[in-house]
Structure 1
Amino acid sequence: MASPLEAAEVAQEFVTFLTHGTPPDVQAEAVRFVLKLTGSESGRSLLASQKGLLQALAKLLEAPPRAPAGAVRDAWRALVNLCAEPSIHDSLLAALPGLLVQLLARSLAPNWPWAGEAAAALANLTRDSGGPVRELLEESGLESTSEEANQEPIVARLVTALTTPGYNPHAPLHYLASLLSNLSQLPGARAFLLDPNRCLIQRLLPLIHCRDSAVRRMGVVGTLRNCCFEHRFHEWLLGPQVELLTFLLMPLAGPEEFSEDEMDRLPVDLQYLPPDKERESDADIRKMLIETIMLLTATAAGRKLVKDQGTYLVLRELHGWERDPNVRLACEKLIQVLIGDEPEAGMENLLEVSVPPDVEQRLQQLDQQEQQELQQEQEAAVQASHKLDSLGPS
């Protein structure tokens, strides 16, 4: 195995092989080597320290159409892997100071064949709410909303790209939803999305049911969950202009039948669902949907609206169907809010209640204990199942 110094020397030699003048087969082999390095944490750390190699790789990303497609594709995939390593983000952005703008431009270019990879790399870079997210919002002009602005702010452009059929016929753009979710961690992006005059939220809602991609569904639901931290918009979100609750409950609803009295309590779109109605298949998305509804119950007005639209009925049936312990736990917590007593005066807004540190620590311990017990129950059930499976006819 080569030493770190020897590996670095090899990496530096590969810089010349990544240039546009290199024979295509040599260039493709060099890029495959770099891509292989990005498959491990040590490889990613090594590449992050090679400024020249990173810059050569970045130039290859912009290769003209005559460049070998395999080499360019592998270069984009290598960048996606590099951006997935948070510990090297600073080194990556220091070596490639224009990377954020480059990735954004390529993600939103309607005919760029590697727009999907560019979106995935950008989503990886902006996963945390720190520097890259804020820098991207600043450089893309979130505040540039005047008529004199040259282009729409990034949030509006992302929504347009996600909601326009065939926006880029050459590449899937599912990770733009992940990017939007990352950006919505910041109050400025949430305020922009929640501006009633822009109707951006309404355009995103149908994507909750996008069958083509769990990544897109996850990103959109994550965006909505982040937006629901803005409790002053809850009544608008739950009201007739948006009807957010219906869109959140639909993926959680199954084909179960209700009595006539119960059916009347449900939103019209959730009544008399067909017998082949399926729930959201991804457990993480189901959990996130429940968490989003939980946020909508933070205020007294929000709780009333959520309760009045038959939410408990959908969750009751979901709880009986659900097998994932984390989703069941989230479901139980929301049910407790829906059937429990109202908080005492002065504590109606749960997002503004100040919890003493010792109480918060105790609640976290109880939550961890509850999750451990659920995990143990699940493991015991699996073991019992294995024992039954091993019993054959006597």
Structure 2
Amino acid sequence: MESRLEIADVAQEFVTFLTQGSPPNIQAEAARYVLGLTGSETGRSLLASQKGLLQALAKLLEAPPGAAAGAVGDAWRTLVNLCAEPSIHGSLLAALPGLPSQLLARALAPNWPWAGEAAAALANLSREAGAFRELLEDGGLESASDKTYQEPGLARLVTALTTPGYNPHAPLHYLASLLSNLSQLPEARDFLLDPNRHLIQRLLPLIHCPDSAVRRMGVVGTLRNCCFEHRSHEWLLGPQVELLTFLLMPLAGPEEFSEDEMDRLPIDLQYLPPEKEREPDADIRKMLIETIMLLTATAPGRKLVKDQGAYLVLRELHNWERDPNVRLACEKLIQVLIGDEPEAGMENLLEVSVPPDVEQRLQQLDQQEQQQLQQEREEALQSPSRLDGLGPS
């Protein structure tokens, strides 16, 4: 009991030190110490239990630009680290009601110097369903309009993410992670996939963003989530969006094709320069393949993917790929493209009901595959060798 009282007394002292009226050097030292506590799980849990201290930090976050910059910056970094700990999200949101909406407002403020930290904290926090559900319901992402920008909040998020120089003082890469998390909700996907809003088309160029793997990962994750809406597949694959071209481009290399094969590819994928490089991040390559796989879940989607020469790009990728997880994903997609069509009643793979015993068996097979991949990875580290690619069967 005494230790708890001591902790409470120390926390109260830090509340005093962190207030905006404290001397700048004392305030900065206190903020630096609190930030250091977030370096361990124990420290993060301790901070999450101190409501008064959290509220003092929240007030410091709102300090005007230029005021106690060091202390404010450390306060923002503290919040990023706290939001990265899922086990304390409940305590954090209980102490700071409305935190997701507050963070969103700062992340989307065009000149706020800590907008990047606000976006990162919100991306961490929105991994939990409750937090991003609050954004949709209270933060107005789905329907409410900002009086200054006159557009719904979710559209503003896309605008901030896709507008060069939107905030010249802060990178906003983690807005893409936030968007990916939000797109797990059906209502967010419906909003993004509204053909009249043209939001998906604005996101597509960011698949190739050279400045940030975080931004590319978030955008591809958003697109993958949207592809669970199979009723939008034909629109996504059609001339209004041309999603497949954008998904295949990072997977394509400088390989040459015969004239007949070249004619099967979309125009933008023909005659790529010899210096063309593939997406360097293996996780993003895997996610791109998974997104294309989702687009093949329906018969019309499979036909459109096949007709646009996806197999040719995937064949060359498989020859080049060294990551076993990406290779496996590539092989599964190739089998879909070159295999027979599903039997009657199973044309839409996203709507097929899998019996429990079959699902359990599939999970066992997946575990066996993962174990085999791990063994192959260990063997490859000891004796690397080139693996041949797949060909049509």
Give the Å deviation of 1:232.
Answer: 0.3
**Residue in 2 that maps onto 1:69:** 69
Q: Is the 8 A contact 2:233 2:295 kept in 1?
A: yes
Matched, 1:253 2:252: yes
Q: Is the 8 A contact 1:163 1:204 kept in 2?
A: yes
Matched, 1:91 2:91: yes
Give the Å deviation of 1:251.
Answer: 0.3
**Aligned Cα root-mean-square deviation (Å):** 1.8
Query: C-alpha separation between the residues in 2 aligned to 1:206 and 1:289?
Result: 14
Query: C-alpha separation between the residues in 1 aligned to 2:329 and 2:215?
Result: 22
Query: C-alpha separation between the residues in 2 aligned to 1:321 and 1:12?
Result: 59
Matched, 1:169 2:174: no
Query: C-alpha separation between the residues in 2 aligned to 1:147 and 1:79?
Result: 25
- What are the residue-to-residue correspondences of 1:364-383 with 2, within 5 Å? 364-383=363-382
Letter in 2 for 1:65: P
Which string of whole-angstrom CA distances, capped at 9 and with x for unpartnered residues, describes residues 76-114 of structure 1? 000000001111111101101121121011000000000
Matched, 1:54 2:54: yes
**Residue in 1 that maps onto 2:225:** 226
Give the Å deviation of 1:152.
Answer: 2.4
Letter in 2 for 1:246: T
Query: C-alpha separation between the residues in 2 aligned to 1:127 and 1:173?
Result: 18
Secondary structure at the counterpart of residue 241 of structure 1: coil
Give the Å deviation of 1:143.
Answer: 4.4
**Residue in 2 that maps onto 1:349:** 348
**Residue in 1 that maps onto 2:268:** 269
Secondary structure at the counterpart of residue 188 of structure 1: helix
Q: Is the 8 A contact 1:61 1:75 kept in 2?
A: yes
Q: Is the 8 A contact 2:142 2:188 kept in 1?
A: no
Give the Å deviation of 1:323.
Answer: 1.0
Matched, 1:29 2:29: yes
Distance 1:250 1:365, change over 3 A: same
Query: C-alpha separation between the residues in 2 aligned to 1:61 and 1:145?
Result: 25
Letter in 2 for 1:78: T
Query: C-alpha separation between the residues in 2 aligned to 1:9 and 1:323?
Result: 56
Matched, 1:119 2:119: yes
Give the Å deviation of 1:7.
Answer: 4.2
**Identity over aligned pairs, percent:** 87
**Residue in 2 that maps onto 1:328:** 327
Query: C-alpha separation between the residues in 2 aligned to 1:144 and 1:384?
Result: 56
Which string of whole-angstrom CA distances, capped at 9 and with x for unpartnered residues, describes residues 257-309 of structure 1? 11111111111100110111010011111110000000000000000000111
Give the Å deviation of 1:151.
Answer: 4.1
Letter in 1 for 2:239: P
**Residue in 2 that maps onto 1:390:** none
Q: Is the 8 A contact 2:48 2:91 kept in 1?
A: yes
**Residue in 1 that maps onto 2:105:** 105
Q: Is the 8 A contact 2:20 2:60 kept in 1?
A: yes
Secondary structure at the counterpart of residue 383 of structure 2: helix
**Residue in 2 that maps onto 1:388:** none
Q: Unpaired segments of 5 or more residues in structure 2?
A: 385-393
Which string of whole-angstrom CA distances, capped at 9 and with x for unpartnered residues, describes residues 173-196 of structure 1? 111111111111111110010011
Q: Is the 8 A contact 1:89 1:125 kept in 2?
A: yes
Give the Å deviation of 1:341.
Answer: 0.6
Which string of whole-angstrom CA distances, capped at 9 and with x for unpartnered residues, describes residues 301-331 of structure 1? 0000001111111111111111111111111
Give the Å deviation of 1:142.
Answer: 4.0
Distance 1:353 1:149, change over 3 A: farther
Q: Is the 8 A contact 2:144 2:153 kept in 1?
A: no
Q: Unpaired segments of 5 or more residues in structure 1?
A: 386-394
Q: Is the 8 A contact 1:8 1:46 kept in 2?
A: no
Query: C-alpha separation between the residues in 2 aligned to 1:367 and 1:134?
Result: 32
Secondary structure at the counterpart of residue 45 of structure 1: helix
Query: C-alpha separation between the residues in 2 aligned to 1:256 and 1:112?
Result: 45
TM-score for both structures, normalised by structure 2: 0.94
Query: C-alpha separation between the residues in 2 aligned to 1:233 and 1:174?
Result: 27
Alignment length (residue pairs):
383
Give the Å deviation of 1:145.
Answer: 6.6
**Residue in 2 that maps onto 1:391:** none
**Residue in 2 that maps onto 1:362:** 361
Give the Å deviation of 1:372.
Answer: 1.1
Matched, 1:188 2:187: yes
Matched, 1:206 2:210: no
Query: C-alpha separation between the residues in 2 aligned to 1:66 and 1:167?
Result: 20
Give the Å deviation of 1:140.
Answer: 2.5
**Residue in 2 that maps onto 1:278:** 277
Distance 1:324 1:8, change over 3 A: farther
Which string of whole-angstrom CA distances, capped at 9 and with x for unpartnered residues, describes residues 214-251 of structure 1? 11101100100000000000000000000000000000
